[in-house]
Amino acid sequence: MNYWLMKTEPDVFSIDDLYNKPKKTEPWDGVRNYQARNFMRDEMKKGDMVLFYHSNAKAETGVAGVAIVAKESYPDFTSWDKKSKYFDPKSSEDKPRWFMVDVKYKKKFKRIVTLSEIKENKRLKDMRLIQKGNRLSILPVKKSEFDEILKMSEK
DNA sequence: GCCAACGTTGGC
DNA sequence: GCCAACGTTGGC
């Protein structure tokens, strides 16, 4: 099993929004970065665990909870929907360029594990999230890092 | 709102 | 294939 961190802006789609979806499940659409796409297309498997990260948050930036991969990658249909803001003329139903997975709500932390706490925790110093210049919206996480963040959320 | 650190596009 | 210009991400 693999572990991941997925970023979302809570103003756009928060952990509460995921909770309120039918079946608490939602397609992770709109990823338009090749590295992030490749993670979803090639490596994310059903049952993988996801740290649900609130970026650019008005309140607190950090990990807000846990989700689980509910469906493995399939073409991101918003990429050939002309009305979608994620429309990409180079993607088609015949030749999809972009892919997504479905994620399902697992739990909301009692409190946000903030980015600054993560930076301060020596056990998390190698997390790709806090490497310089990292802007990837989907990142692999080690099991030890995943467990550490879970532990921090309980404190 | 600013801006550093990217990634992408397109002319050549 | 190079690289300048442009667009985006995301912390602050």
Percent of chain A scoring above 90 in pLDDT? 82
User: Going edge to edge, which strands form the sheet with A25-27?
Assistant: A25-27, A99-114, A62-75, A49-54, A3-8, A138-141
Is the CB of A116 less than 7 A from some atom of nucleic acid strand C?
yes
Domains contained in chain A, number: 1
Across all strands, nucleotide nearest A9 (CA–C1'): C10
The percentage of residues in chain A with a pLDDT greater than 70, rounded to a whole number, is 100
Residue type for A68, please? I
Distance from C-alpha of A135 to C-alpha of A27, rounded to nearest angstrom: 21
The residue behind tokens 């994310």 is: A44
C-alpha distances out from residue A130 to A64, A69, A145, Å = 16, 23, 12
User: Cβ of residue A34 near strand B, that is under 7 Å?
Assistant: yes
Confirm whether any atom of chain C, the nucleic acid strand, is less than 7 Å from CB of A114: no
Intra-chain end-to-end CA distance of chain A, in Å: 26
In this structure, what CATH number is given to the domain that contains residue A90? 3.10.590.10
For the segment A65-100, what is each residue's pLDDT rounded down to a tens digit? Answer: 999 999 999 999 999 888 888 888 888 888 889 999
Q: Which domain holds residue A13?
A: 3-153
pTM of the model: 0.93
